[in-house]
Structure 1
């Protein structure tokens, strides 16, 4: 039995939605089908199925059961979570490198998120700036106002935030059209071959791990240029130039080459090397940011020195 899915066949009733399984999902696991159809993470979809909130032809099924095209799927979606709020909070180690009426450039310490997000209760750059009196642009989602690019919680270094609405618009455009020079330094395991090169591989969410990303056929175009600065017996210090800016891009690309960032256990780094170097996160640092100032149109460049934990690890490698 087959059926063609049309958008107007989705009939919401409160938070309950019903629709036939499209031909393209025939034979897929129930939790995967729910994830695809309703934009949920695999974990959230599996929890929903296990709670009995996903019925196939009126009957609750195991999450691993395969669905047939044309079967009627009824799903009760959870209520949307309230948007995280920006809470002014002093952030130890957050250093303002430069500030004017249009932008504020910070040197972000480890353990700090760019902005609030569901499930994150730690410090944020936006909350830290609010705590010291910086007014941020109101453009963007409430929890991400002024944020034009992000760094991972475990990645340190230079980050710019927009203070004026004009700066927000111009910087968002500059990042979108790859007019911002973004350079990172990373220490990766082993020796790259060639020592200088380009990684051009699409990235999307990992098919089975919600918290990870991966090189996936059909993912978003992702381009990373690298150049080896210094080689050690078991690792290499590399300069990385991002042409695109996907989530975890550097970490994913080097892991795919089997040269993960040292200390990056999430993406396959050797824990014994991390322990020897005293690292509890990936050796990855946003070293330099260069762009046209949105207010003056002048080219500006900001550089960040290595924080103590990364410098210590580098010193051990050199000894």
Structure 2
């Protein structure tokens, strides 16, 4: 077992996990709640339930569990790190890289690479350390990663409150008469294909804003802003309005464009605006489009001129 901490509760009336946070413990409430549940926290030498209300004068002793060595392999995979400090990393994920290990992808993921680079938060469990939000394997672009639990909680709460701004660039099929618009359509699991998502009645709220950046013959370059972050949201919403993302094998089918065969959808998480978990400063990060994406746009512009 790890070290033991002893604390006297000064002010009663709150649930024990909240009282311990108020007493200045650096662990998050959810971490403390799980320790209480596991019997790592004794009040006046006896274990208590998670719902226990602390009383003034309670003597609390906490046995901090030893950090389990994660069974994830840290791998020396090159990373495109856009920004890093003691709390967070902003990384530009290449197309084709899975964010965290799961069935069929135990190694070679962004998490394996990040673990080699730096310690990460543990809030999300053993296989998703540091991961506050995800982007699909074949979507490239910016991702924020938490290096400690406090940063993770702050970034996750901001994301949940829709305060984080995430802007994507996508090349989609077809032409738009309007210059901008919003798709507000609920998303849930596809009724027939469990691997896909779809717009379904009773699905979870999903809102995507789009703006036309450039028009081509039969294609449009869009800038999209996510208000919610559902699985495959942009890809599903674009298919729903009849403008599938080019190169999307699941929702779009078109893999060839301008003489090139694509390895996945032309969708890039280009810009990320977040509040720093410690300094509370608004930070904006931007990234270049991947080489393939740029090559396709260049080819389309050339075709337009001919």
For normalisation by structure 1, the TM-score amounts to 0.70
Secondary structure at 2:247 match in 1: coil
Q: Compute the displacement of 1:188 (Å).
A: 0.2
Alignment of 1:1-319 (within 5 A): 85-92=71-78, 94-132=79-117, 134-273=118-257, 276-319=259-302
Q: 1:85 to 1:190 in 2, by over 3 A?
A: farther
Asked if the contact 1:261–1:269 (Cα under 8 Å) also holds between the matched residues in 2, the reply is no
Distance (Å, rounded) in 2 between the aligned partners of 1:249 and 1:193: 22
Residues 151-190 of structure 1: CA distance to partner in whole angstroms, max 9, x if unpaired?
1000111111000211011011001110100000000001
Asked if the contact 1:158–1:286 (Cα under 8 Å) also holds between the matched residues in 2, the reply is yes
Aligned residues: 233
Asked if the contact 1:278–1:313 (Cα under 8 Å) also holds between the matched residues in 2, the reply is no
Asked if the contact 2:165–2:272 (Cα under 8 Å) also holds between the matched residues in 1, the reply is yes
Distance (Å, rounded) in 1 between the aligned partners of 2:84 and 2:252: 38
Asked if the contact 1:182–1:242 (Cα under 8 Å) also holds between the matched residues in 2, the reply is yes
Asked if the contact 1:189–1:269 (Cα under 8 Å) also holds between the matched residues in 2, the reply is no
Structure 1: gaps (5+ residues): 1-83
Secondary structure at 2:250 match in 1: helix
Structure 2: gaps (5+ residues): 1-69
Secondary structure at 1:142 match in 2: coil
Q: 1:121 to 1:314 in 2, by over 3 A?
A: farther
Asked if the contact 1:277–1:312 (Cα under 8 Å) also holds between the matched residues in 2, the reply is no
Distance (Å, rounded) in 2 between the aligned partners of 1:277 and 1:235: 15
Root-mean-square deviation (CA), in Å? Answer: 1.5
For normalisation by structure 2, the TM-score amounts to 0.73
Distance (Å, rounded) in 2 between the aligned partners of 1:259 and 1:85: 42
Asked if the contact 2:169–2:269 (Cα under 8 Å) also holds between the matched residues in 1, the reply is yes
